[in-house]
Amino acid sequence: MEKESLTFFERANNWLKNSIMIRLIVIGILLLLLLIPIEMVKDLIREREYRQREAIREVSSKWGNEQTIKGLVLTMPYKSYSKVYDKDDSFQLVETIEYAHFLPEELNILGNISPKVRYRGIYEIVVYNSEIQLSGNFTLPDFEEWKIEEKDIIWEDASVALGLSDLRSIQQNVSVNWKGKNYAFNPGVERKDVVEHGISTKVLVNPNDSSFQKIDFSLALNFNGSSSLNFIPLGKTTQVNIQSEWKDPSFDGAFLPDERTVSEEGFTANWEVLHLNRSYPQSFRNTVGGINQSSFGVNLLMPVDSYQKSMRSAKYASMFVALTFLIFFFVQILNKVRIHPIQYIIVGLALIVFYTLLIALSEHISFMWSYVVASIAIIGMIVLYVKNIFKNSTLTWMMGLMLLILYVFIYIIIQSQDYALLMGSIGLFIVLAVVMYLSRNIDWYRIYEKDH
């Protein structure tokens, strides 16, 4: 009789309150709504990362950008003739000046990188000063393969060029010891076929002197840079030996070191690259492809990239919220606890606030401690909140334990990037197995009937 006395709206309200299906639909809608603040958190991480990159660019632009050393390159101009035909099929020979480029037989690079950490606000930027010694030799340029006569070669205009990405960072004048004589470099290069940005000087090449069959050279460079130092293996045999006090190097590019040692005192690295390992020849006319693609070197990494790890953790935010809601749902079903949608939203927002705490803290302390502090704060807040919802100490502590396990699991995935997919798949498998175990004896139809 009591049921018959209820109005239509009262019966509808009871159905909406008690229906399992409606609860699931509401939880699904709440999850979709919480995707909005999750995306806002990701945008916040991107914004902070962008500000970090801007700080790095600002400091680097004043100190010195990433550097790539390219050289030496010996450039020889020569006369070329082409036929220009008239209307009556007669022709004239037109003389033009073209350029041939020759690379060293041996190129040895010995260097020391002195790293420094600069600050722009809360951001750390790695810069360095580098002292580099280049030495090696050229052989006398040979034009026979191109069938260019010696009289057409302009020997007196021979020049050498050295490429450096950011010329503003050079700290002292540069000169090359070319077969026992010093030649001072000038800014700019005559031809940009090989070296786009660099310095150059005219040198003596005498084909009539037998001692010029082998031309030794050496020079010293002192320049500033930031983040990375790279080299182009122009020698027929290129040997690079560098050392530094920086203890977190990353070697990349077309070639990895043949030998390297990394310790708390710094690192040393040695490369040996043959001309057969590259795609371009030792001598060519005008331009040739593949030179820039053969670069290799070292990046001076900061030990921790907090924004990258924060973004990786935020990618699991929706799964984290979904699993927490799943726990709430089974508490509702198995223990007959009523949880209002507003309470779901409050807990979901608390889980999302974890990521803003993580980002803010990781800008000042290590990522590990940021994660620990943020997770303890959020778990403590949620446990105190659900204590009044569950009215059961055992359920409350179980909830806290489950959240702790989830946070630890996500942290392990973040730290183990190579095994993230494997561990994530195993974790989801375990969660599904637990859900199937807990729900194995639930008669969903009977629950639905009782609720009605």
The per-residue DSSP string of 12-54 comes to HHHHHHH-HHHHHHHHHHHHHHHHHHHHHHHHHHHHHHHHHHH
The mean of the pLDDT values for the chain is: 83
Helix, strand, or coil (residue 325): helix
Same domain flag for 168 and 277? yes
Q: Does any domain span residue 123? A: yes
Tokens of residue 161, six digits = 């060029």
The total domain count for the chain is 2
**Residue among 245, 238, 270, 274 at smallest CA distance from 256:** 270
Contact 222, 236 (CB under 8 A): no
Residue 202: exposure state from Cβ atoms within 10 A (0-12, 13-18, ≥19):
middle
- 45 Cβ contact partners less than 8 Å away, ≥ 6 residues apart: 307, 310, 311, 314, 355, 359
Indicate whether 255 and 388 sit together in one domain: no
298 and 333 share a domain?
A: no
- Widest CA span in the chain: 122
The per-residue pLDDT for 14 is: 59
**Same domain (yes/no): 170, 69:** yes
Which of the residues in the chain have pLDDT under 70?
1-20, 87-89, 91, 302-305, 417-420, 438-452
pLDDT tens profile 315-343: 878 888 888 888 888 777 777 777 778 88
Residue type, 253: G
Q: What is the pLDDT of residue 234?
A: 93
Residue 77 falls inside a structural domain: yes
Identify whether residues 198 and 268 lie together within a single domain. Answer: yes
Tell me how far apart the alpha carbons of residues 413 and 136 are, in angstroms, rounded to a whole number. 49
- Please check whether residues 184 and 316 belong to one and the same domain: no
State the number of CA atoms in the 13 A half-sphere of 434 facing the CB. Answer: 11
Closest CA relative to residue 299, chosen from 222, 232, 230: 230
CB 128 within 8 A of CB 113: yes
Chain centre distance of CA 177: 39
Predicted confidence at residue 269, as pLDDT, reads: 94
Residues 226 and 201 in one domain: yes
| Structural domain containing residue 91 | 64-303
**Is 316 inside any structural domain?**
yes
Residues 30 and 135 placed together within one structural domain of the fold? no
41 and 84 in a single domain? The answer is no
**What's residue 109's pLDDT?**
95
Angle at 64 between CA 61 and CA 69, to 5 degrees: 135
**Measured between alpha carbons, how far is 398 from 403 in angstroms, rounded to an integer?**
9
Residues 207 and 343 occupy one common structural domain: no
Contact criterion met (CB below 8 Å) for 104 and 77: no
- Burial of 249 (C-beta count, 10 Å sphere; 0-12/13-18/19+): buried
> Which of 269, 303, 337 lies at the terminal end of a domain, its last residue?
303
Strands 186-187, 181-184: pairing is unpaired
CA separation for the pair 198, 70 (Å, rounded): 9
pLDDT for residue 189: 87
Angle at 160 between CA 154 and CA 164, to 5 degrees: 150
Q: Is residue 294 part of a domain?
A: yes
Give the pLDDT score at 451: 46
Q: What is the model's pLDDT at position 418?
A: 66
Helices (H) and strands (E) in the chain, counts: 10, 17
Q: Of the residues 268, 303, 338, which one is the last residue of a structural domain?
A: 303
- Judge if 76 and 115 occupy the same domain: yes
Domain boundary among 246, 279, 303: 303
Cα–Cα distances (Å) from 64 to 57, 125, 174, 224, 417, in that order, read 10, 12, 17, 5, 32
pLDDT at 323: 82
